[in-house]
Structure 1
Amino acid sequence: MAIPTSKLALSELISVATESKSEGNLLPITSNDTGRYDKTGLAELDSMQISPGLFSRSRLPEPTYLPLRWSAHIHPEGQLYFCRDGSPRVVTEAYLYRPETLCKVTGWIKKIEDIVADKSFPLSDQVELFIKIEGEDCAYYFVDHATRAQTWIEETGTYDLGLPPVVSLSQLNILCEELYWTHIEHFPMHFGGLSGETLDSLVCVFTHAICDQMTSRVSTFPYSKQECEAFVSLLKNSRDHVADGNITCIVEYSRLSRDQAILYDPETKHQWVSTVASRLYLAQLDDVFVDHLVYTEQWKAMVTGCLRDWRGASYGAFFGLMLHLFLLGLTSCPTLAVASASLFGASLLGSTILIHRYEPLQEFCATQAMVYLETIQSPTFKFQFVALMFALPRALQLWGMLVLFANCIFMLAIYFGTGFAAGISVIAFLAILAFQWTTSERFNLSLAGLQAKFSRSQDACYTSEV
């Protein structure tokens, strides 16, 4: 039975809601599960007749009223939600302008208040209740503005709430505070805004982050130096509007370095999968996914670097294939020519597929990147096979170059003799070794050591002469 809300007193509404309330279940959830960004709705557009004088003062539509102490608020992103003043204060995104929804919400609030009274659950003016109607069931959580934490009226576990495992009460406290700030982000318009002390503290956090980003390559802060500077500027400009609901903030985990793992992670088995060519990519994937956390800047830098490397491999493979056109009439070993062309073709194909696959992923945010890496990480091999796929285009191109070089040496042996070809091979081999040695870290360290010894011997000679 539809009851006009505007004609319904609060006491009558509670009576109707109590009589018609369902026997659904009361379910604990977190502020991550409000479903704010999962809602979808479609409106069917159609023509409509406009009667004469429809919007004149005498013919304005009758307004829809909310019960006493209820108020409607609009999130800066446009989402409508409702708040009831009282102890506890109640917040919901259920559409209370619909009488049957209002009856459900009021009935569940009465039921929760009865449970709170039976359990002697501590309530104050700082405690806020969120409820979400799910069919006949009701999902809920409490937040305490005094302690900045999220809580529930019955014992529940982090696993049941879909939260990550924790190792201590202090870490659980940080996790519950993060959930509190998520609630504030979703419902910022009704509680009076943040305090000036909170805003100043946040400015100090971002100021420290700027210095940390400038002096450390492994900063734990998820935003870049430029983004931190922009945040500081925005926050300072907001000091005169701390009561406005558009002020939001974030809470970070505590660790000393971004690449410092805190959670225990068993050693990867079957490390033979990681070839020399793929260890570089494996290190990058492991570095960007420490403790299953992803930082946007590091993710974008890794994907950008991989795309640059794959494009370089594709260019090299393409020019290698083009070189076969010039050698087509000269080659005397078709097997080597076919092998090198196949390797170059596989490198070009692999790099093209990887570029096509990962170019859209370059703009992923931290959450999207984290979900993606979770899905491709093997419980046994971790990122070894992924790193192997990443390394294939460059490895195939290098093997193609080696086979092409062998084919060139074979042609030199036919046209100029075996001795000449062997000499060219030895010279090329020594040149490669010299390049590898002079560009290696060990060579530079050895050179520095020799320079230090020479300096000490020169000082000793000068001292003895004096």
Structure 2
Amino acid sequence: MQNPVTPVGLRETYTTQSHHRLNPVTSLSTSRYNRPWLTQACPRIIPRGPAPRVSSTSPSKWRQFIHPEGQSYFVLNNEKFPIVTRANLEDAETERGILDYLKLVQGGLERHSIKVPPRCELFLELEGDHTPCNYYFVDHAAKGLFWLEDMSTESLHIQEAMSPSHLERLYWLHVEFFPMHHEHQEQELSRIVDGLRDIISHGQVDRVTSRSPTSPYTADTCRQFLKLLRLYTRRGQRVDGYTLCCAARLAGAIVNQLSHEQQSPQLRRRQQRHSPLASRHHWVATISNLILLGIPRYYYALLDGLYMHDRMPADQWTRFMFLCLTEWTNSLYPAFLVLIAGIYIAEVCGHSPSTTIPSVISCMLSIISTLCLDMKYRPLAEADAASAERYLQSVKSASLGFLPLAIVFSLPKASYMWGLAFLIIQLLSIAWRSAAIAATFLILLFVLWCICVPRGHGIRLVSWVLAVLQFPPIDTTPVSFETCPSFAPSTVHRILRYILAVVHMYAYGVPFTHHSSHTVIASVPSDQT
């Protein structure tokens, strides 16, 4: 007797008194590539005579097929629908377990009054201890999966879908895993391959002629696919399991990228199809772009365009990583030069470390971040599109998007540019200090010369300097420098003015007074010249 278990959300399981339990899964979440197979080589005795013929002890007739990758699977042509499984039915206990779960599925169909249409099949997969049993139904006519109960994308651990056609990839994945037993559907399979050839041909033209193509493959890759499909079969000819396996893999990849048969298809690569989420942390982007010189904005735009609609063309990731690695490497050698130059200038000139340390720290940060990013992402540069999609999905923040990753990618170049800026400040500081020392030395020499030389020569030199600095000529009338219309006062001019005034007074006894906070110099009488 079968007793249903209390439903959990949209997910419902079925058990029997023998603790059998059905677990709804998808073709994407099976343990095909995750099941550990441990074997041990040992000496064997080969018996004489021909090998024995393996036959099932069950009255049901299972047929064994070999996948192009080498894994075997079994198919039972039931009266209502075929059953497909990868379980080893040569083992009697495993076969009994599969048949028990088949009865459990049939009971669930009767309970929910579900009638399985033609061209459908059931997939069963036993776990290690034969409980629970993973299952799903395949509808070849509708190119989709279904279960005994209502399912959600969250409970099936798959991405959200905008329409049922987005789930077609799960169907093609099942056909790819079990392609060898469809010998009674030759016409349908031929139409599938012919349609796939047409889609790839259009994608090749789209890649060549469009600025924003939607095809996930390059023109050269499409040309290789078309060549392989022509080698496998011609139009209208019989399609075998090997050809169907390859066609299903290509169809699944294309369906995963494109949006055919929808009310809002994607007609160009960068077309926005989702409502953009309002940024709750725009101040983080503002501050990071301000500190890192706007470079995170550049990388954020690249990452956002690369991972559009949670999909990525096969060739875009390689190009993006090549661009990033090149930019990081181009920042490495200049950062070394700036670091060495900063340390050398500090050692030779004996300059204060207040302007040297920032440059050294910035260059060291650039070098360390470049080396770390190169070690992290160079192995990922040759990753396929699926692996790159999984990685970008794992690093994408729910609130900040790709901003944290863009900030990390910006560190090598931004740190190097900051180091270069600090080095320039260091050089300007040294030059300013050297210029100040030189100017002070020249002024002292000028003062001493004005004091020591004869008065006649000194006054002519002072008058010439005043004329060069656009001071009024020396006459017998007191003149205020502030009243000269052609003179634009500045800090340097004021300093030189006061110095020359002091020199003029000290050398020639010309009095000067303060008037309205401005120095007024009385010129030398004409009889002294």
Whether these two folds match at TM > 0.5 is: yes
CA distance in 1, matches of 2:281, 2:350: 42
| 1:195 partner letter | L
* 2:204 aligned partner: 210
1:199 and 2:193 correspond:
yes
Q: Secondary structure at the match of 1:132?
A: strand
| 2:324 partner letter | C
Counterpart among 145, 151, 160 of residue 156 in structure 1: 151
* 1:221 aligned partner: 215
CA 1:300 to 1:331, structure 2 compared with 1: closer, same or farther past 3 Å? Answer: farther
CA distance in 1, matches of 2:357, 2:148: 72
1:189 and 2:180 correspond:
yes
CA contact (8 A) 1:71 1:84 kept: yes
- Measured against aligned partners, the alpha-carbon deviations of 1:281-302 in whole angstroms (never above 9, x if no partner) come to 1111111222222333222222
User: For residues 111-130 of structure 1, what are the structure 2 equivalents within 5 Å?
Assistant: 111-130=104-123
Percent identity over the alignment?
Answer: 29
* 1:14 aligned partner: none
* 1:100 aligned partner: 93
Structure of greater relative contact order (alpha carbons < 8 Å, 6+ residues apart):
1
CA distance in 2, matches of 1:160, 1:411: 67
CA distance in 1, matches of 2:47, 2:372: 59
* 1:297 aligned partner: 315
| 1:175 partner letter | H
CA contact (8 A) 2:22 2:134 kept: yes
1:22 and 2:15 correspond:
no
* 2:282 aligned partner: 271
Q: CA deviation at 1:121?
A: 2.5
CA distance in 1, matches of 2:70, 2:134: 23
Q: Secondary structure at the match of 1:34?
A: coil
Counterpart among 149, 156, 171 of residue 180 in structure 1: 171
User: For residues 240-319 of structure 1, what are the structure 2 equivalents within 5 Å?
Assistant: 240=234, 242-247=238-243, 248-249=247-248, 250-251=251-252, 252=255, 253-254=258-259, 255-274=266-285, 275=289, 276-319=294-337
Which consecutive segments of 4 or more residues in structure 1 shift more than 6 A?
A: none
CA 1:55 to 1:273, structure 2 compared with 1: closer, same or farther past 3 Å? Answer: same
Structure with more helix by fraction = 1
Structure 1: where are the runs of 5+ without partners? 1-19, 421-466
Q: Secondary structure at the match of 1:31?
A: coil
Counterpart among 29, 32, 50 of residue 33 in structure 1: 29
Counterpart among 66, 76, 79 of residue 68 in structure 2: 76
Q: CA deviation at 1:231?
A: 0.7
Tell which structure's C-alpha radius of gyration is larger: 2
CA distance in 2, matches of 1:388, 1:90: 52
| 1:260 partner letter | Q
- Measured against aligned partners, the alpha-carbon deviations of 1:233-290 in whole angstroms (never above 9, x if no partner) come to 1112222464211222314231122222323341222223221121001111111222
Q: CA deviation at 1:125?
A: 4.3
* 2:506 aligned partner: none
Q: CA RMSD in A?
A: 2.5
CA contact (8 A) 2:355 2:422 kept: yes
Q: Secondary structure at the match of 2:197?
A: helix
The farther-off stretch of 385-394 and 265-274 is: 265-274
CA contact (8 A) 2:56 2:62 kept: no
Q: Secondary structure at the match of 1:226?
A: helix
CA 1:104 to 1:88, structure 2 compared with 1: closer, same or farther past 3 Å? Answer: same
Q: CA deviation at 1:29?
A: 1.6
- Measured against aligned partners, the alpha-carbon deviations of 1:79-132 in whole angstroms (never above 9, x if no partner) come to 211111233011001111111000011122133234334544333441111111
- Measured against aligned partners, the alpha-carbon deviations of 1:341-371 in whole angstroms (never above 9, x if no partner) come to 2211111111111111111121222222222
CA contact (8 A) 1:74 1:81 kept: yes
1:384 and 2:403 correspond:
yes
The farther-off stretch of 341-350 and 134-143 is: 134-143
CA distance in 1, matches of 2:353, 2:108: 84
CA distance in 2, matches of 1:347, 1:41: 46
Structure 2: where are the runs of 5+ without partners? 1-15, 260-265, 440-529
| 1:89 partner letter | P
CA distance in 2, matches of 1:236, 1:56: 45
| 1:391 partner letter | S
CA contact (8 A) 1:188 1:245 kept: yes
Q: How many residues align?
A: 392
TM-score by length of 2: 0.69
CA distance in 1, matches of 2:141, 2:25: 20
Q: Secondary structure at the match of 2:28?
A: helix
- Measured against aligned partners, the alpha-carbon deviations of 1:433-465 in whole angstroms (never above 9, x if no partner) come to xxxxxxxxxxxxxxxxxxxxxxxxxxxxxxxxx
CA contact (8 A) 2:343 2:356 kept: no
The farther-off stretch of 145-154 and 31-40 is: 145-154
The farther-off stretch of 111-120 and 133-142 is: 111-120
CA distance in 2, matches of 1:361, 1:175: 28
1:45 and 2:38 correspond:
no
